[in-house]
Amino acid sequence: MSARDFLKKTEKQRMKELFELLRIPSVSAKSEHKKDCAACARWLADHLKRIGFKARIYPTGGHPVVYAEYLVDPRLPTALYYGHYDVQPPEPLELWKTGPFDPVVRSGYIYARGATDDKGQTLAQVKGVEAVIKATGTLPINVKFMIEGEEEVASAHLPGWMKKNKKLLKADICIVSDTGQFNKKTPAVTYGLRGIASSEVFVYGPDHDVHSGTFGGTIANPVNTLCWMVGQLHDKNGRVAIPGFYKRTKPVSKWERTQFRKLPFDEAAFKKSLGVSRLQGEKGYSTLERAWCRPTLDVNGIKGGYQGEGAKTIIPSMASCKITMRLVPDMEPGEALNLLEKYLKKIAPKTVRVKVDKHGGASGVVVPTEGPWLAAAARAIKAGFGKDPVFMKEGGSIPVVADFKKILGLDTLLIGFGQADDNVHSPNERFRVMDFERGCRTAAALPDELAKAGR
């Protein structure tokens, strides 16, 4: 029996297992889900053990890391697979057609939080490897799995754990399935990710809410002021107005411009999928260039004052917002956050007090677009999808990829099975059943291809 046949035979069972995993509400951002995160780690470790791996759960200062290995022969190449079992918060709940943690299949899609990001994709890699073991009794390479529970909150504890466990993680190449295909007809290898820097900005006015009639016109309103400040973050050409923001940004190379133009990007379909009639962004760049090669800044949420039923006439005492910046390689989160803080404090009127909390971040990366490992990934995708992949970048971030290079000196193959319309981080997240299947097939073809590449 081939690995492919094994997958075919076990389709129902695999779906059942994915559902089990999706039922665990492993929301890393919320402390009330700490136990669920631990349960998810246990599920994965048990599962990997049943497949024949030596697996262990490592506590960290946050949610645990699952590490598992199947070592065949030290002379064979070693692949370090990464995935994350944590998910984004499911809110707003009222917009889900079915419960975020009650997985169902509707019209060829598995609906649940984490279906694509990243439980479905991680399990596809696990099940692909299992199929090879079941079909051949062994693996043609050494395989290590490192599955963490804090990716969606910027992987704060993972780099420290990796530094302590460098020996354990010794490998030749890293494999990550936490990205997407280019579109429904075009699989992809991703060669670049943006980094991220997160912050929260507070604007303080009077030390308590005050009557807007009595005091309106006499003091600064923190909500008005914060909104004005946010308005100063971009210029009229859509460029971020913070001095020095672009100083480390390299121009889009000729090679990339040509590559991107060749991609079958359908701008009309893109707009339609988002429900917008026009696109907006930095002048002088194409849509894909803006999303993949340019740093950006966005307010993720803003609050202040009264939002309940009816009217309340106050000048609120404070306002706040969360801001993230997407970074290009060489732009470090700390530096970007310092620039943001300096600029906001400079433009703030003297009538308010401004505080900027600088949270974590992650660096952007570009991985090689040539070489034997990449060719191996392309061949595995061809086997799984029946089609050659294109090369693309992603605007999103996966913190560990820069750390693989910095801490372990390793390159990463980003082999994504998702789709842009999988509603990742949003209500009704989904994963196409067909993409799960193709993902498993690609994963089953990968070990052989990596073995060839590493010879």
Rounded to a whole number of angstroms, the minimum distance from the CB of residue 39 to Zn ion is 20
Return the number of the residue (144 or 194) whose C-beta is nearest ligand BES: 194
Do the Cβ atoms of 418 and 431 come closer than 8 Å?
yes
Choose the contact partner of 87 out of ligand BES, Zn ion, none; CB within 5 to 8 A by kind: none
Do the Cβ atoms of 192 and 394 come closer than 8 Å?
yes
Return residues touching ligand BES (CB under 6 A): 117-118, 151-152, 154, 178-180, 196, 362, 394, 396-399, 424
Choose the contact partner of 99 out of Zn ion, ligand BES, none; CB within 5 to 8 A by kind: none
The C-alpha atoms of residue 419 and residue 181 are separated, in whole angstroms, by 6
Rounded to a whole number of angstroms, the minimum distance from the CB of residue 409 to ligand BES is 22
Choose the contact partner of 130 out of Zn ion, ligand BES, none; CB within 5 to 8 A by kind: none
Return the number of the residue (206 or 416) whose C-beta is nearest ligand BES: 416
Q: By beta-carbon distance, which residue lies closest to ligand BES? A: 396
Rounded to a whole number of angstroms, the minimum distance from the CB of residue 433 to ligand BES is 19
Return the number of the residue (223 or 398) whose C-beta is nearest Zn ion: 398
Rounded to a whole number of angstroms, the minimum distance from the CB of residue 360 to ligand BES is 7
Do the Cβ atoms of 88 and 428 come closer than 8 Å?
no
Rounded to a whole number of angstroms, the minimum distance from the CB of residue 49 to Zn ion is 27
Choose the contact partner of 68 out of ligand BES, Zn ion, none; CB within 5 to 8 A by kind: none
The kind and range of the H/E element at 13 are: helix 11-22
Rounded to a whole number of angstroms, the minimum distance from the CB of residue 353 to ligand BES is 29
3-state SS string for 351-407 = CCEEEEEEEEEECCEECCCCCHHHHHHHHHHHHHHCCCCEEEEECCCCHHHHHHHHH
Do the Cβ atoms of 228 and 299 come closer than 8 Å?
no
Rounded to a whole number of angstroms, the minimum distance from the CB of residue 334 to ligand BES is 14
3-state class (DSSP) for residue 329: coil
Choose the contact partner of 396 out of Zn ion, ligand BES, none; CB within 5 to 8 A by kind: ligand BES
Q: Which amino acid is at 253?
A: S
What backbone phi and psi angles, to 5 degrees, belong to 314? -135, 160
Return the number of the residue (117 or 422) whose C-beta is nearest Zn ion: 117
Return the number of the residue (76 or 123) whose C-beta is nearest Zn ion: 123
Return the number of the residue (117 or 148) whose C-beta is nearest Zn ion: 117
Choose the contact partner of 295 out of Zn ion, ligand BES, none; CB within 5 to 8 A by kind: none
Rounded to a whole number of angstroms, the minimum distance from the CB of residue 24 to ligand BES is 17
Choose the contact partner of 398 out of ligand BES, Zn ion, none; CB within 5 to 8 A by kind: ligand BES
Return the number of the residue (245 or 417) whose C-beta is nearest ligand BES: 417
Return residues touching Zn ion (CB under 5 A): 117
Peptide bond between residue 389 and the one before it cis (omega within 30 degrees of 0): no
Within 10 A of 203 (CB to CB), how many other CB atoms are there? 28
Return the number of the residue (119 or 144) whose C-beta is nearest ligand BES: 119
Choose the contact partner of 362 out of ligand BES, Zn ion, none; CB within 5 to 8 A by kind: ligand BES
| Helices 433-454 and 11-22: angle between axes, nearest 10 degrees | 100
Q: Which amino acid is at 316?
A: P
Return the number of the residue (56 or 322) whose C-beta is nearest Zn ion: 322
Choose the contact partner of 52 out of ligand BES, Zn ion, none; CB within 5 to 8 A by kind: none
Choose the contact partner of 381 out of ligand BES, Zn ion, none; CB within 5 to 8 A by kind: none
DSSP string, 23-74: TS--BTT-GGGHHHHHHHHHHHHHHHHHHT-EEEEE--SSSPEEEEEE---T
Do the Cβ atoms of 240 and 295 come closer than 8 Å?
yes
443: left (phi over 0), alpha (psi -120 to 50) or beta: alpha
**Residues written for the chain:** 455
Rounded to a whole number of angstroms, the minimum distance from the CB of residue 110 to ligand BES is 16
Rounded to 10 degrees, the C-alpha dihedral 434/399/126/453 comes to: 90
Tokens at 90, concatenated: 């499911």
Return the number of the residue (44 or 153) whose C-beta is nearest Zn ion: 153
Rounded to a whole number of angstroms, the minimum distance from the CB of residue 32 to Zn ion is 20
Give the residue among 121, 266, 263 at the shortest CA–CA distance from 179.
Answer: 121
